A and B are shown apart, each in its own frame.
Chain A
Amino acid sequence: MHLKSSLAALAFAASSLAIFVSPSYAEYPEKPVEMIVPYGAGGSTDVLARLIAEYGEKYLGQPMVVVNRPGAGGQIGFSAIAAAKPDGYTIGWINSGILTSPIVRPDVTFNIDSFDYIANIVTDPGILAVAGTADYATLEDFLKAAKEKKLTVSHEGIGGGDHLAVLQLENEADVEFNLVAFNGDAEAKAALLGGHIDAIEGNVSEQVELVEDGQVKPLVVWASKRNADLPDTPTGKELGYNILASSSRGLGGPKGMDEDVVSKLREAMVKVTEDADFQADLKKLNMPLDVLVGDEYRAFMQEQDEGYKKLWAESPWQ
């Protein structure tokens, strides 16, 4: 009896020692992974992050914890991701803000090279739309009218993706709009439907419902292929404009993570995005899934970065 229990104690001690020793050989991840959201709780990036966290645990083997670090239009969160220890336990959500902020503010502590790219999850293409009652049926009509009379077009703040898209259109089509800043798509939509502005530059998912209702007419989608929700709306490229604009949300980590760690994270994210339940939930949220893994994601960001740098050189927006 005595012997048995001391043996058991010994075995227990040995096994706890094994647990104690194991970390150096342990496989990533052995503790929860923090996911920084550079915006407040309840915003669209936050909602997406929490959904990923819910499914991610299943495929990563460890919980994913959402940490909100809002402020400065995402810059505080981006800085925190770029500056995190590259051990794979702190990753975060990035978007085109990591490209435009360094152009405008050379003092920010990150740029396109500060991150390891895990995967893009969602891309919501840009769209230019007019009220359903408007006279223009196509982008050409609209631009023609704009040359005769200055038309007002909304955007959501100087230097944002939609503002830059309109600037690119002004450059390429050689027109000048009266640009009006709004605090978000809701106020801009109300102003469009009320006839206070002529056109709205925004994202597809925000407009689909009004388009289906016939209250809003889409003129062009700024993507490389036609949008599944708006199959009849031409892309910019089809109409001869080399303009890409979208609001994309993906996961990145600080530069310098272990190759093994990054590939584990990529693998887990691919599995999450292939999960049928996840896809169904995402569809309910009206967020268009657009999975770009690793180098593909980096290339996608690179292409946008070049576009913005060119635009900045031609016509700086501030």
Chain B
Amino acid sequence: MEAILAAAANIFEPSTLLVLMIGTVVGLFVGALPGLSSTMGVALCIPITFGMDPANALVLLGAIYTSSVFGGSITAILLRTPGTDASIATTFDGYPMAQRGEGAQAIGMALVASLVGGVFSVFVLLFVAPPLSRLALLFGPQEYVYLTIFGMISILGVSGGNPTKAFISAAFGLLLATVGFDLFTGYPRLTFGQDELFEGVPLLPALIGIFSVSQAISLCTGEADIGAGNMIKTKGRTLPAWSVIRRCGRTLFKSSLIGSAIGILPGAGTSVAAFISYDEARRRSKTPEAFGKGEIEGVAAPEAANNAVTGGSLVPALTLGIPGNAVTAVFIGGLTIHGLVPGPRLFTDHAEIVYTLIFSLFLANLAFAALGLFAAPWVARVVKVPSAVLGPTIIVFSIIGSYALRNSLFDVWLVLGFGVLGYFMERWRIPGAPLVIALVLGPILETNLRRSLQISGGDWMIFFTSPLSYAIMALIVLTLAYPVFARRQKNRREANES
């Protein structure tokens, strides 16, 4: 308790608040620019923290981490350019909203959802961190297999009403996911001698190509005039009405829970959480057909989930020293630099600093919400920019972003290639989202499947041994069976009425 009070005093030091604001602004930019990831933002700021006192250093890193996740959503909504894979799912409904001139509202909902998810996960971190991290260790490779399959169900939700085409798209994504060095045999697969493909098809160029460059090409050819030229009005207020928030309340809560839970698992990843929550929200919705066409709940779900991952992923990082993702791995590095060794004793030996970090995450959530609220109506006007200007601008930024990632010209060709692919897929009404989801989840599924089989010595029974596996399996079956079940009940109800 004493530590909590001391931490509260720390956080309201003027210097700490200044650091918090700087970190938040830096994080927003890092998240919004496609060439920069949260990981790089945090990593590049670590040397700056050498001279700071530990509390301020952690506040800076924490603020960058949380706000960068939100920053990626702004461009995902307005330009269909997810800054990181965490905001892929946000484009599904955010971009259609922006096209209708409701970009500010979509950002407003993203903001509320991110705030809810972020704060929820901070509470998880604050109260139940140590016991939860023990639980997370129960997840072996075989459980990750089931979890990833669970995430892949979301492909059905973004099929655009044509499961066959979605299946083709996803299958192609899975094929692309097999490119690169094979950890288990030591051979490069399907790289065609290209060293640049040794580590697989880089995700961000694929992502930006399929989603934003394809759209930019449509803009240039005049096929997809955003909101019919400059006619559309960016209307209304940014913050969603209370009634809307209430309608989404269930989704917000559930997505926060999913995000926090998946964040705790090392090796699952932010995008898995976002996909599962999106699918969950769509499935439970009274109007699932509105999803993918600009349903505000479809923005709320992945946004709450991806920000909830932030606090969750710090649970195993702080309590066990095992990072839940790349960002927290760098984060641990930042901690040890300041003599804070992650582990069970961190909460007892350095309680004051840990609580300062937790409070700062809380405040960082408020800070990016305030900044976002201020900025949303302005940045949402981007849809008023004539297509002839916006299209080429998006392409230029996509090229710069993909080059910056690895200083490699190969990635520039890749982003353009995926752009053309995405453009034609759109013309032939093959949805691009399944491809991207498969590309993100494919490697996680494959490595864990093969790892399970390596552990069992090739015995497939390993997938039918633990109660945890059965639990996730049951969830998958329920999720798949639910629509059939719901339809039957609806039919029965209608039959009774008539």
List residues of chain A with CB within 8 A of the CB of B489: none
* A178:B198 contact, CB within 8 angstroms: no
Residues of B within 8 A of A182 (CB): 451
- Starting from the known contacts A159-B186, A183-B447, 7 additional A-B residue pairs (CB-CB under 8 Å) come to A46-B43, A70-B406, A180-B454, A182-B451, A190-B322, A193-B137, A209-B342
With contact pairs A180-B454, A186-B266, A286-B336 given, residues A72 and B343 touching in the complex (Cβ less than 8 Å): no
Q: Does B141 contact A (CB under 8 A)?
A: yes
Cα(A285)–Cα(B330), bound, Å:
11
Q: Decide if A187 touches B266 in the complex (CB within 8 Å).
A: yes
- Can you name the residue of chain A whose Cβ is closest to the Cβ of B323? A186
Residue on A nearest B193 in the bound complex, by CB: A107
> Which of A44, A68, A187, A210 has the largest number of chain B CB atoms within 10 A?
A187
Question: What is the chain A residue whose CB lies nearest that of B451?
Answer: A180
27 A/B residue pairs, CB under 8 Å, sorted by A: A40-B40, A41-B40, A41-B43, A42-B44, A46-B43, A47-B43, A67-B407, A69-B407, A72-B199, A73-B199, A79-B195, A150-B457, A152-B455, A158-B184, A159-B186, A178-B454, A180-B451, A181-B184, A181-B447, A181-B454, A193-B322, A209-B343, A210-B321, A284-B336, A284-B337, A284-B338, A286-B336
Report the minimum CB–CB distance from A51 to chain B (whole Å): 7
A5 in the interface (beta carbon within 8 A): no
A76 in contact with B47 given A181-B183, A187-B267, A196-B455 (CB within 8 Å):
no
Q: Report whether B333 and A47 are in contact in the complex, using a CB–CB cutoff of 8 Å.
A: yes
Which residues of chain B have C-beta atoms less than 8 A from A152's C-beta? 454-455
With both beta carbons as reference points, the residue of chain A lying nearest to B202 in the complex is identified as A71
Judge whether B50 is part of the interface by a CB distance below 8 angstroms: yes
B333-379 with Cβ < 8 A to chain A: 333, 336-339, 341-345
Query: Do A317 and B186 have beta carbons less than 8 Å apart?
Result: yes
Is B403 interfacial (CB-CB < 8 Å)? no
Whole-angstrom distance between the alpha carbons of A197 and B183 in the complex?
17
A213 with B343: in contact, given A40-B406, A196-B141 (CB under 8 Å)? yes
- Contact present for B195 and A71 (CB under 8 Å): yes
**Contacting residues, chain B, for A189 (C-beta < 8 A):** 320-322
Query: Which B residue sits closest to A182, measured CB to CB?
Result: B451
Which partner residue on chain B sits nearest A286 by CB separation? B336
Cβ of B185 within 8 Å of any chain A Cβ, yes or no, is yes
Bin chain B's interface residue count. 35 or more
Instruction: Output the least CB separation between B91 and chain A (Å).
Output: 25
Q: Does B167 contact A (CB under 8 A)?
A: no
Task: Say how far B417's CB is from chain A's closest CB, in angstroms.
Answer: 17
Are A50 and B47 touching (Cβ within 8 A)? yes
State the B residues within 8 Å of A (CB): 39-40, 42-44, 46-47, 50, 136-141, 181-187, 195-196, 198-199, 266-267, 316, 320-323, 326, 329-330, 333, 336-339, 341-345, 406-408, 447, 450-451, 454-455, 457
The answer for the CA separation of A41 and B40 in the assembled complex, in Å, is: 6
Contacts of B183 in A (CB 8 A): 157-158, 181, 183
B322 & A186 in contact (Cβ 8 Å cutoff): yes
What's the nearest-Cβ distance from chain A to residue B414, in Å? 12
- A170-192 residues with Cβ-Cβ distance < 8 A to B are 178-184, 186-187, 189-191
Q: Within 8 Å of chain B (Cβ to Cβ): is A318?
A: yes
Nearest 10 A-B pairs (CB), nearest first? A42-B43, A158-B186, A72-B198, A194-B137, A196-B140, A318-B186, A72-B195, A284-B337, A181-B183, A159-B186
What's the nearest-Cβ distance from chain A to residue B68, in Å? 13
CB nearest neighbor in A for B194: A72
Whole-angstrom CA separation of A152 from B43 in the bound complex: 33
- Answer whether A72 and B196 are a contact pair too, CB < 8 Å, given A42-B44, A179-B454: yes
Counting chain B CB atoms within 10 Å of each CB, the highest count among A42, A150, A195 belongs to: A42
The reply to whether A178 and B457 contact each other, CB–CB distance below 8 Å, is yes
Does A274 lie at the interface of the complex (its beta carbon under 8 Å from any beta carbon of B)?
A: no
Query: Who on chain B is nearest to A100 by CB?
Result: B186
Inter-chain CA distance A317–B47, complex, in Å, is: 39
Give A43's nearest chain B residue, CB to CB: B43
A145 close to B (CB within 8 Å): no
Scoring A residues 127 to 152 as 1 if CB is less than 8 Å from chain B, else 0, what string do you get?
00000000000000000000000101
Chain B residues closer than 8 Å to A47, beta-carbon distance: 43, 46-47, 333
- Could you say which residues of chain B place their CB within 8 Å of the CB of A40? 40, 406
What's the least CB distance linking B347 to chain A, in Å? 13
A40, A50, A69, A186 pick with most chain B CB within 10 angstroms: A186
Q: Bound complex: CA of A54 vs CA of B47, how far in Å?
A: 9
B320: A residues at CB distance < 8 A: 189-190, 193, 210, 215
Is residue A235 contacting chain B, with contact meaning CB distance below 8 A? Answer: no
Give the distance in Å from the alpha carbon of A118 to the alpha carbon of B329 in the complex: 30
Contacts of A186 in B (CB 8 A): 266-267, 322-323, 329
Give the CA-CA distance A75 to B140 in the complex, in Å. Answer: 32
Complex-state Cα separation, A195 to B466, whole angstroms:
13
Q: A318 with B185: in contact, given A41-B43, A194-B138 (CB under 8 Å)?
A: yes
